[in-house]
Amino acid sequence: MQELIGVTGIILKTEPIGEYDRRVVILTRERGKISAFARGARKQGSRLLASTNPFCFGKFSLYAGKSAYSVSDTVISNYFEGLRDDFEAACYGMYFLELMDYYTRENNDEKEMLKLLYQSLRALLHEGIPNLLVRYIFEIKALALNGEYPGLPGGETPYLDSTKYAVNYIVNTTVEKLYTFTVTKQVLEELSQIAGIFNSRFIDKKMKSLEILHEIHVEIER
C-alpha cells in the first residue's frame, strides 16, 4: 500500500492532462517544488476541481509514485480570491508564481521562498502598498534568498540614501516584516532600475506574465 504524504504549499501552475486530469506544480514547505497529478480534477463535481488551481494555499495529501506524485486530498486555507476582482493584481500574482517556478527546485529547502510568495500575494491585496513596490521588494528579496544578491549595481554612489536604506532593509529583514513600509516616487523609480538590472543579469527566461503587465502599464500611460 502506498504511503500518504502530507505537504503544505501553494500551487504555482496547472495544466490539463487527458480529458479530465490535471498536472499541478506545488511549491511546498517540506519538499521544495514538486509536480503531482490530480486525477479527475477537471470533472464537474470533483472535490479537486477548485483546490487544484493556481494561488491555492493549504495542505495537500499525496501519494508518491515512481516518477511523480498523485493528489489524494486537499485542505485549502487561502484561495486568494481577492485577486479575482483585481486584474492588475492578479497579473502581478501570476508573475510571482512564474518567477518562483523559475527559481525553486525539488528537494531544496524552499521554506523562505514559500513564505515570501505567500506574504507577497497578501501584500497585493493590501490597498496601502502599491503593486509596483510589492513587485520590486519581491524581486530583490527572491534574489537574496536564492544567494545571488551582488550588492547595489554600480556601487552605492548613484542612489539616494533612502533607496540604499530600502534595499538594505529588503535584503536583510525577515520576510514577515518586508511589507511594512512605503517609499517616495523617486525611490520607487530607483528600485525599478535596480530590480531591472538584477533581472536582466540573473534571469534568462522571458516571463509571459511580465509581458502582460508591461502591456497594461503602456495602456495606462496612454
Query: What would the pLDDT profile of 145-186 be if each residue is shown by its tens digit?
Result: 999 999 999 876 789 999 999 999 999 999 999 999 999 999
pLDDT score, position 216: 76
Is 87 or 3 the better-scoring residue by pLDDT?
87
Strand 4-17 versus strand 21-28 pairing type: antiparallel
R_g over Cα of the chain = 19
Return the SS3 of 180. Answer: coil
Q: Give the number of other Cβ atoms within 10 Å of residue 183's Cβ.
A: 20
- What would the mean pLDDT of 64-80 be, rounded to a whole number? 93
Rounded CA gap, 129 and 117, in Å? 16
> DSSP label at 173?
S
pTM comes to 0.94
The angle subtended at Cα 23 by Cα 61 and Cα 38, nearest 5°, is 40
Instruction: Tell me the mean pLDDT in the region 4-12.
Output: 97
**d(C-alpha 12, C-alpha 117), whole Å:** 10
pLDDT at 219: 60
pLDDT at 222 over 60: no
**Could you say which DSSP state residue 159 is in?**
S
Band of pLDDT at residue 59, cut at 50, 70 and 90: very high
Domains of the chain: 4-78 (2.40.50.140), 82-221 (1.20.1440)
Q: How confident is the model at residue 218 (pLDDT cuts 50, 70, 90)?
A: low
Please count the residues of the chain: 222
What mean pLDDT value characterizes the chain?
93
